[in-house]
Amino acid sequence: MDITFYKYQGTGNDFIIIDNRKNVFPKKNIELINKLCDRRFGIGADGLILLENSTTSDFEMVYFNADGNLGTMCGNGGRCIVAFAHFLGIFNIKTTFKAIGKLYYATIDNNLVSLIMNNVNQIEIHDNHLFLDTGSPHHVTFVKNIDQINVKNKGKEIRYGNPYFKEGTNVNFVEQINSNTFKVRTYERGVEDETFSCGTGVTAVAIASHYSKKSKNNAIILQTLGGNLEVSFDSDNKNYNNIILKAPAIFVFKGSIKVK
């Protein structure tokens, strides 16, 4: 079987996206998805996304981690599938889509996609990190000299460590640049490595930065290896609502691959 795919990237976080509205992709084939995401033996990506029909929204997003397993919400993946759905003519400027049983809202202006993320009302503060869920779980640690951090080794240690263990968490290392700018490097579970950017990760960092009073701004700039993103929000210093993740989502190429 030949599968037509599209490659998109959001600040270096890259995805294989497939139009599966006819429900032909074998999405239970974990080995196949893992192989397609492999950067040496497949197409290469941080994850694979299926665009499917929905009875309650414009479309549904089904996201798989690079290891082939179903993932939780992916912010950059969400922005990229919005760009893809716009390319397919599914919507014009504003859209709603379903992902992980929830409805998400987004707009597109040229290549700039703004995605409304989940509200956050639970943030844990620990001795040397914060923990919160922005659609995916995130451990946030503020550091100095972030460029010197071995993100893969240190991130893996935290990802499987106490109290996360097998289920694991994503791990973000953060260095403050100024009052509303933070540099972020992220270890993503499911990819099991550092990625160039993580949408739910930078969202978690922006909220954690404001909650811990490192910034008084309600619009935070996040610098990642793949580029800059902006996260804005409304807050009463306890609950965070109207959280918007904004950055470019870029089409890279279209291809076809034969699978058994």
Kindly list the catalytic residues: 74, 198
DSSP for 174-207, please give it.
Answer: EEEEETTEEEEEEEETTTTEEES--HHHHHHHHH
**Displacement of CA 221 from its chain's centroid (Å):** 16
Residue with tokens 């990819």: 191
Greatest alpha-carbon pair distance for the chain in Å reads 54
User: CB–CB of 209/249 below 8 Å?
Assistant: no
Q: Is 150 buried (19+), middle (13-18) or exposed (0-12) by CB count in 10 A?
A: exposed
User: How far, in Å, CA of 46 to CA of 117, rounded?
Assistant: 20
Which positions ≥6 away from 127 have C-beta within 8 Å? none
Residues 6+ apart with CB under 8 A from 214: 142, 176, 182
Looking up tokens 């701004």, which residue turns up?
A: 217
Q: Would you state the structure tokens that stand for residue 76, as one six-digit string?
A: 């950059």
Is residue 82 within 8 A of residue 63, CB to CB? The reply is no
SS3 146: helix
DSSP three-state, residue 225: coil
